[in-house]
Amino acid sequence: MDLVGKAKRVRIYLNEEDRVGRKWAPQVILGLLRDEGAQGASVFRGVEGFGATGEIHVSHLPDATRKLPILVEWVDRPERVERLLPRLKEMVPHGFITVDETEIVLYEPCPVRDLPKILTAADVMQREVTSVTRDTPVRRVVELMLGKVYRTVPVLDRGVPVGIISSGDLVQRGGLGVRLDLLASLDKPEIHELLERLASTGKVAADVMTPRPVTVTAATRLPRVAEVMAHGRLKRLPVVDERGACVGMVSRVDLLRTAARGFEPGEEKPWEPGLAGDTPLSRVMRRDVPVVHPDTPLPEVLQAIIATRLHRALVVDRERRVVGIVTDADLLDRLTPSLRPGALRSLMHRLPFAHSPKEKPASEHHATGSTAADLMTEEVPSAAESTLLSAAIATMLRESHKVLAVVDSDGRLSGIVDRADLLHGLVWRKDEGGEDAPPPAAQEGR
């Protein structure tokens, strides 16, 4: 994976006696970074230094050796640093953390990480789990999920998962009215109004959760985890120990990231992911691609977006070559606040977007664009039909893209895949007759 370019460097200053719980603080920090897919971090021990107390600690004083300064240094992409920094700040017992801009001019990692030969859920799961109890107010559940990468939280009773709450649960049973990933497009007063409305209902987690959640054990092998997740169309699964207590969460991205690393070229592979990474995209892509043209007006763009579960539409020219992409968040970001309720209703209930003649001038005045060309983002990852899943996964995860345009030999759009499609492809198996069976995504016509 190419990391050359702009990056951020995080430095965490500690001393040797710092602990997180009963564990050595640097060890816990490295564990978090590794579990969250960071590209690497290092721990350095100082020979002399002083902190806020003014006391100088040096390595040649026997009674001070356990107070020597420790530096944890981590360099990574800005978006990953921004995502993980709040958790690091909560974790560090005392000391200080600095972040500065840097540039990576060379990144040549080892071909394959030092991973065990047989990977299980415990090897890739996220161990720091945000959870709620049955009586947690729904408003608090939303607040815990706001701004987070995850869109699912488990409901625990004495450590055992008894339910799970997703963004869909909050919309369907909680009365949220808008998906969590669209809340960032709203203004603070709008978000505050939604939260107040939730609080007034008096609902708690038990009222909105999906009971009896699907779980996997920490010892479950990754191919089986992928099958459970793909066939159930699940994005995240609680991981439990032999007593049924939650010990982590495994996500679809965790599986895709691990699979991509397992297929990296190298002279030796110390482990096999057990997933079908040699399947070409032509076998798993969907051809029902939501498309618009650069001059397509905003209402029609919105209609194209709500016609698919992808929540986005590709922009193509007359030769059907991809020139951009428009997401539902792009639309909300460019609409005047007075039109957002109508747009949200259209997006959430898949209804045509309509506004009164009086609202039209306001829309034209406040929107930053009225056609797909004005609204689109030009950077759209693409891959050829013959591209193998292993390479496609690496492309999609490199910049956290959610879809990948599939093009034919002439560069024209022929299909599209998202993360769910790629996971379906990875668990592809031969049927008893030895013929290729279509992946679940193709069977369902999604």
Residue 356 maps to which CATH number? 3.10.580.10
Lowest mean pLDDT among 131-145, 202-216, 257-271, 296-310: 257-271
Is there a single domain that holds both residue 303 and residue 171?
no
Whether 229 and 308 map to the same domain: the answer is: no
**Average pLDDT, integer, range 17-39:** 81
Alpha carbon of residue 150 to chain centroid: 6
Low-confidence winner among 65-79, 81-95, 180-194, 282-296 (lowest mean pLDDT): 180-194
Pick the range with the lowest mean pLDDT from 1-5, 167-171, 430-434.
Answer: 430-434
Beta carbons of 239 and 217 less than 8 angstroms apart: yes
Residues 438 and 295 in one domain: yes
Query: What is residue 368's predicted lDDT score, i.e. its pLDDT?
Result: 53
Together in a domain, 436 and 313: yes
Residues 286 and 232 in one domain: no
Check pLDDT > 50 for residue 159: yes
The whole domain housing 180 covers 121-262
- pLDDT at residue 344 is higher than 70: no
The side-by-side arrangement of strands in the sheet containing 41-45 is 41-45, 69-76, 5-15, 96-104
Q: Which is higher by pLDDT, 75 or 337?
A: 75
Residue 32 is part of a domain; what is its CATH number?
Answer: 3.30.70.120
Question: Do 236 and 338 belong together in one domain?
Answer: no
More reliable by pLDDT, 134 or 172: 134
In angstroms, the CA 56 to CA 67 distance is: 9
pLDDT computed for residue 362 by the predictor: 44
Lowest mean pLDDT among 322-331, 341-350, 351-360: 351-360
384 lies in some domain: yes
pLDDT value for 345: 61
Mean pLDDT is highest, among 263-272, 407-416, 418-427, for 407-416
Q: What is the mean pLDDT of residues 84-111?
A: 80
Asked whether residue 269 is assigned to any structural domain, the reply reads: no
Could you tell me if 233 and 304 lie in one domain?
Answer: no
Query: What strands, in cross-sheet order, belong to the sheet with 210-211?
Result: 152-157, 160-166, 210-211
What lies within 8 Å, CB to CB, of 85 at 6+ separation is 10, 97, 99
Q: CA triplet 25, 31, 33: central angle to 5 degrees? A: 105
Confidence label for 411 from pLDDT (cuts 50, 70 and 90): very high
- Least confident residue range of 43-57, 118-132, 327-341, 355-369: 355-369
Whether 182 is in a domain gets the answer yes
- Is residue 293 domain-shared with residue 422, that is, in the same domain? yes
Structural domain count, the chain = 3
Mean pLDDT along residues 157-181: 86
Whether residue 268 lies inside any domain: the answer is no
For residue 160, pLDDT over 90 is answered with yes
- Per-residue pLDDT of 178-206, as tens digits, reads 777 777 667 777 778 888 888 888 999 99
Q: Answer whether residue 34 shows pLDDT above 50.
A: yes
> For all residues of the chain together, what is the average pLDDT?
78
Residue position matching structure tokens 């759009």:
413
Domain boundary among 50, 70, 104: 104
Residues 291 and 391 both lie in one domain: yes
Q: What is the predicted pLDDT for the residue at 340?
A: 61
In the chain the first and final C-alpha atoms are separated, in Å, by 30
- Confidence (pTM): 0.62
Structure tokens at 313: 């539409």
Q: Are residues 251 and 156 part of one domain?
A: yes
Asked, for residue 271, whether it belongs to a domain, the answer is no
Whole-number Å distance between alpha carbons of 229 and 421: 12
> Do residue 419 and residue 299 come from a single domain?
yes
Integer Cα distance of 364 and 370 in angstroms: 7
Residue 243, pLDDT above cutoff 60: yes
Q: Are 314 and 382 in contact (CB under 8 A)?
A: no
Going through 130-287 in order, the beta strands assigned E by DSSP cover 152-157, 160-166, 210-211, 216-217, 236-240, 246-251
**Position 267 in a domain:** no
Q: Residue 65 has what pLDDT?
A: 44
Co-location of 289 and 424 in the same domain:
yes
What was the pLDDT predicted at 97? 92
